[in-house]
Chain A
Amino acid sequence: MTKRDYSLLGPDAALAVENGLAAADWYHTDIPRQQMKALMKREDQPAIRDTLILFSAMFVFAAIGVALWPSWWSAPFWLAYGVLYGSAMDSRWHECGHGTPFRTAKYNDWVYQIASFCMVRNPVTWRWSHARHHTDTVIVGRDPEIVAMRPPALFRIFLNFFGILDAFHGWQRMIVNASGKLETEEVTYIPQSEHYKVIRVARIWVVIYAGVIAIAVVLQSILPLMIIGLPRLYGAWHHVMTGILQHAGLADNVIDHRLNSRTVYMNPVSRFIYWNMNYHVEHHMFPMVPYHRLAELHELIKQDAPAANPSILQAYKEVWPILLRQLRYHDEFLTRDLPPTARPYRTDLHEGALGDTGARTTTPQAVPAE
């Protein structure tokens, strides 16, 4: 059984480079250039519409929450506001970080800054972190954004449904950065020329949080924190619920997104909150395609990819057994069957990386019982 070291500074990081898994040439489904250009084409209208809906809903829910405060009748409105703040902002952070939702660059930047603040993710640090995630998706020792490691830290994941570790780590990093320092791992993927920006943003955020806390103290009420800060905790569950499904239980150390990413069909509300990142194979294979074209891209490449999971519930039924097995058998992972129309999985570097230790499970039904 292979023991994995997820540190970006550890032996697996060096091994990934040695095995050719770092910055490798990944598999892509062939799509004619004209079709790809059409899918990549940028426009402002869909994202402006969605952003207006999002911010309007946040304003209305928060206003009703404040009006009904401190009655328990305000709770549903805080929960709705929280999901938009602590989860929808995750997908806005993600998409606008790619710069794809809006054609107008400054619109992407504005929403990215707001969403980064809500998610307590330094917008400079996380732009580089996420670039690495796309270069080396689920490559152990290279990808700083692996959620379900092996063995999966299930209690940590559970706590993050309430933002308890991620958000507090974000606030801790904010304090460290505001003091003029970067964490050791941050230095490995953020160029020196960008360090001052990390520190500047952190200092601005400290001032904002200090202001909110000061207002709360003056008012002798947590109400200001219900609007700014706490929704990162009480509204985090949706983005964790959907985010786990992106890669959990699938292969690591491979260079074919069909092996390590999962597309899940979701209800329209979750798709709005998640901004269509349920099409995750498609997003990783072609990160240039805006969220509002991913459903079309899915139709175009689905003959070359494993079948999408039909629902969130079904996807969890697939993921949960393999996560439990990975607690004891770290090399277990799920390989979904490809349709007959698909090109075979690209396993060249994958075999080299795992050697003889690569245990695999083909299809959810084939997961052996304990």
Chain B
Amino acid sequence: MANWIDACAAEDIDEEDVIRFDYDGRTFAIYRSPDNVYFCTDGLCTHEQIHLADGLVMDHTIECPKHNGQFDYRTGKAMRAPVCVNLGTYATKVEGDRVLIEI
């Protein structure tokens, strides 16, 4: 059964940016794309467990701040070494001015 969690206000995230969201002992990264769509992935890089929220969002990629590995945050796909393992992704929706993620 879908478990929608209220994560943040829509305006908490700048366009083409990311924030960290911790919930129930887990950490997530929530993105706002240049075309104003929200996405959510696991918050830690699959290479060395670095918080992706400190990284750089460019178009639809997130770059890890430690080793510059890249993921497509829409699909979680690992795009550039040293990342090889894809990120988990989670559905999002906006209700009013709130961003919800499905865990």
A residues touching B (Cβ–Cβ < 8 Å)? 23, 36-37, 40-42, 98-100, 103, 105, 124, 127-128, 131, 134-135, 191, 193-194, 286-288
Candidates A41, A124, A193, A287; contact of B68 at CB < 8 Å: A287
B residues 27-43 touching A (CB-CB < 8 Å): none
* Most chain A beta-carbon neighbours within 10 Å: one of B54, B68, B84: B68
A-B pairs with CB below 8 Å: how many? 46
Chain A residues closer than 8 Å to B58, beta-carbon distance: 42, 103
B82 touches A131 (CB 8 A): yes
A-B contact pairs, 9 of them (CB 8 A): A36-B54, A99-B68, A100-B68, A124-B81, A131-B47, A193-B84, A194-B81, A286-B65, A288-B65
| B55 in the interface (beta carbon within 8 A) | yes
Interface size on B, residues (CB 8 A): 18
| B56 in the interface (beta carbon within 8 A) | yes
Candidates B66, B80, B81, B84; contact of A287 at CB < 8 Å: B66
B56 touches A135 (CB 8 A): no
The CA-CA distance from A68 to B67 in the complex, in Å, is 45
Contact with A along B39-75 (1 / 0, CB 8 A): 0000000011100001110100001011110100000
B82 to chain A, nearest CB (A): 4
The CA-CA distance from A100 to B64 in the complex, in Å, is 12
B66 touches A134 (CB 8 A): yes
A191 touches B67 (CB 8 A): no
A23 touches B56 (CB 8 A): no
A287 touches B65 (CB 8 A): yes
With A23-B48, A42-B58, A128-B81 known to touch, is A134 a contact of B17 (CB < 8 Å)?
no
B81 touches A288 (CB 8 A): no
B residues touching A (Cβ–Cβ < 8 Å)? 17, 47-49, 54-56, 58, 63, 65-68, 70, 80-82, 84
A219 to chain B, nearest CB (A): 39
Q: Which residue of A lies closest to B80 (CB)?
A: A99
A355 to chain B, nearest CB (A): 27
The CA-CA distance from A23 to B48 in the complex, in Å, is 7
B68 touches A191 (CB 8 A): no
Candidates A40, A41, A128; contact of B82 at CB < 8 Å: A128
The CA-CA distance from A124 to B82 in the complex, in Å, is 10
Chain A residues closer than 8 Å to B66, beta-carbon distance: 134-135, 287
The CA-CA distance from A99 to B70 in the complex, in Å, is 10
Chain B residues closer than 8 Å to A287, beta-carbon distance: 65-68
A134 touches B67 (CB 8 A): yes
With A37-B17, A288-B55 known to touch, is A191 a contact of B48 (CB < 8 Å)?
no
Chain B residues closer than 8 Å to A134, beta-carbon distance: 66-67
Q: Which residue of B lies closest to A135 (CB)?
A: B48
Chain A residues closer than 8 Å to B68, beta-carbon distance: 98-100, 287-288
A297 to chain B, nearest CB (A): 13
Chain B residues closer than 8 Å to A99, beta-carbon distance: 63, 68, 70, 80
Q: Which residue of A lies closest to B53 (CB)?
A: A33
A55 to chain B, nearest CB (A): 24
The CA-CA distance from A135 to B45 in the complex, in Å, is 13
A127 touches B65 (CB 8 A): no
Chain B residues closer than 8 Å to A124, beta-carbon distance: 81
The CA-CA distance from A128 to B82 in the complex, in Å, is 7
Chain A residues closer than 8 Å to B70, beta-carbon distance: 99, 105
B23 to chain A, nearest CB (A): 21
The CA-CA distance from A135 to B65 in the complex, in Å, is 11
A115 to chain B, nearest CB (A): 16
Candidates A36, A42, A127; contact of B81 at CB < 8 Å: A127
Chain B residues closer than 8 Å to A98, beta-carbon distance: 68
B24 to chain A, nearest CB (A): 22
Q: Which residue of A lies closest to B66 (CB)?
A: A134
The CA-CA distance from A135 to B67 in the complex, in Å, is 8
